[in-house]
Structure 1
Amino acid sequence: MLIKKHIPNIITLLNLFCGCIAVVYISEMNFLMAFYFVCLGIFLDFFDGFFARLFKVSSPLGLQLDSLADMVTSGVVPGYVMFTLLQMANNPVSPNVILPYLGFIITMASCYRLANFNIDTRQTDSFIGLPTPANALFILSLPLVLEYSDSLVVFEILSNHWILLAITLFSAYILNAEIPLFSLKIKDFTFQKNALQLVFLLLSVLLLVFLHYLGIPLVILLYVLLSVFNNKFLKK
């Protein structure tokens, strides 16, 4: 029983470890490996809660560890990525010294969301505002789109510091916005009750298959837009 008690916390710390490795890779401009380790950290983040419920060892310590680990993997890492992108987009002739550091607005907004999530009893089965792991995937996909896309338009967009700043502010807003996002959990196997989830899943697969890395931020945006549509038109 003693070993079972610590398994979820060990998994949480491995999530933190993945975030630390991702930071190192970003410092080396290896965005692909950073993306992979963040994905692994998010995967572990899901399973720490799963095993805590399975072994019935959920605890206040586990909750705090989870948020602290997420703060690195899904808070510091995307902020550092945006810092790096803004550095790359900065004017080489007369660079703005402050500009790149504005990328860490994402980190601060992530910190606020994680702290608020811990005390918000409304977010049990679904989310209000974009979860930090989803936001991290959104931000970390941007340098991959920039690197692997053949589109000159996409390159020009993601190399523009004003657009990057707009993405930063949008990210900070959507993390903490009072926008209910539909649950991705499928509780039964009836199409009617899971139509929104299934449509989202199908469209997500199509976006990822045909657009590759560009599909990742579009999937996150699709999730938000479908949630807004659901709140306005489908919910009774």
Structure 2
Amino acid sequence: MNNKPQLIYVLPNLFTAISAFLGIISIISSIQGNYQKALFYIILSLICDGLDGRVARLTKTTSKFGVEFDSLADLVAFGVAPAIFFYMSIGVDYGKLGSLITAFFVVFGAIRLARFNVTTGTYEPSVFIGLPIPTAAVVSAIYTYAYIKYEFLESYGFIFLVLQAILGFLMVSNIRYPSFKKVDFSRANFLKVLIILMIIFSFLYLYPLEALVFLVSLYVLYGITRALYNFIIIIFKKI
């Protein structure tokens, strides 16, 4: 009977450990040139990262240890892993500049995690302040894999270098992004949500990579567009 609470306590941290483990395997895959596997492991890490917090809240086993462990695992899985994936695929061709942008992505990811830990609860729960590091990691990995898959993109490597730098800066920005933690699944909206999800999954089935590129780009651009709109509104109010 006494072991039951301890086993429940381990469960969410197990998902965190798996996420970190998959991040390391992704790094090894990138070094070995298995880029499809590298992307796959990063996406699996994202799924595990989404489960650990939910399991902890569901079982009421949230702890300070879990928060710190989650941040360290995130830095490996969503900071180092996508950075190495990017460097081995694109950054290595740009010498010191490629190394610099790769390093900045990891450093800015660490800053994003630290800021999230110290500001949790001070902002509205429906938004993230700055692009979340798991999202930045998946966007980076999907862009990088698209660069690898489509040969015509090889001439645009510098653009992908710039995109990687932008993702890094977005993580430490004050741009707000929706968290989808408070999506309204009431009966009135259930049908709309179901139809939207069916359309999304249909495109993912027909054109998996293209649909992923479109969806992640839409999310990133939403935050930037919203920030620019609010900035313009503020400027016009001052005139």
Q: Deviations over 1:38-82 (max 9, x none)?
A: 111111111111111111010111000011000000000111122
Alpha-carbon distance change, 88 to 204 in structure 1, aligned in 2, over 3 angstroms: farther
Please report the TM-score for the alignment, with normalisation by the length of structure 2: 0.80
- Runs of 5+ consecutive residues of structure 2 not aligned to the other structure: 231-239
Matched, 1:38 2:39: no
Q: Residue 93 of structure 1 corresponds to which residue in structure 2?
A: none
Tell me by how many angstroms 1:228 deviates: 4.8
Matched, 1:124 2:130: no
**Aligned runs of 1:148-227 on 2, under 5 Å?**
148-149=149-150, 152=152, 154-157=153-156, 160=157, 162-185=158-181, 186-189=183-186, 204-205=200-201, 208-209=204-205, 211-227=207-223
- Displacement, 1:126? 2.4
SS of 2:108's partner is helix
Structure 2 residue aligned with 1:72: 76
Count of residue pairs brought into register by the alignment: 221
What is the letter of the counterpart of residue 23 of structure 2? Answer: G
Aligned match of 1:115: 114
Q: Structure 1 178/5 Cα, relative in aligned 2: closer, same or farther at 3 Å?
A: same
Q: Which amino acid aligns with 1:114?
A: L
- The one-letter code sitting in structure 2 at the alignment partner of 1:22 is S
Aligned counterparts of 1:115 and 1:202: Cα–Cα separation in 2? 36
Aligned partner of 2:104: which letter?
Answer: I
Cα distance change on mapping 1:198 and 1:170 into 2, 3 Å = farther
C-alpha deviation, 1:145, in angstroms: 1.1
Tell me by how many angstroms 1:224 deviates.
2.7
Write the mapping of 1:81-92 to structure 2, written as runs, cut at 5 A.
81-90=85-94
Which of 26, 30, 38 is the matching residue for 1:26?
30
The question of 1:63 aligning with 2:86 is answered no
Query: Structure 1 residues 209, 193: closer, same or farther in 2, change over 3 A?
Result: closer
In 2, distance between residues paired with 1:198 and 1:89? 44
CA distance in structure 2 between the partners assigned to 1:44 and 1:199 by the alignment:
26
The normalised TM-score by structure 1 is: 0.81
Deviation string 1:155-187 (CA, Å, 9 cap, x unpaired) is 322xx2x32331122011111221111232323
Equivalents in 1 of 2:191, 2:104: separation in Å? 35
> For residue 9 of structure 2, what is the aligned residue in structure 1?
5
Q: Percent identity?
A: 24
Following the alignment from structure 2 to structure 1, what is the Cα–Cα distance between the partners of residues 166 and 199? 23
Change (3 A) 1:230 1:200: farther
Tell me how far apart the structure 1 counterparts of residues 148 and 176 of structure 2 sit (CA, whole Å). 33
Which whole-Å CA distance do the structure 2 matches of 1:201 and 1:182 have between them? 17
Report the 3-state secondary structure (helix = DSSP H, G, I; strand = E; otherwise coil) of the residue aligned with 1:184. coil
Distance 1:65 1:194 in 2: 38
Task: Could you tell me which runs of 5 or more consecutive residues in structure 1 were left unpaired when the two chains were aligned.
Answer: 91-95
Aligned-residue CA RMSD in angstroms?
2.8
CA-CA distance at 1:117 after TM superposition: 0.6
Q: Tell me how far apart the structure 2 counterparts of residues 194 and 230 of structure 1 sit (CA, whole Å).
A: 27
Equivalent pair of 1:127/1:183 in contact (CA under 8 Å): yes
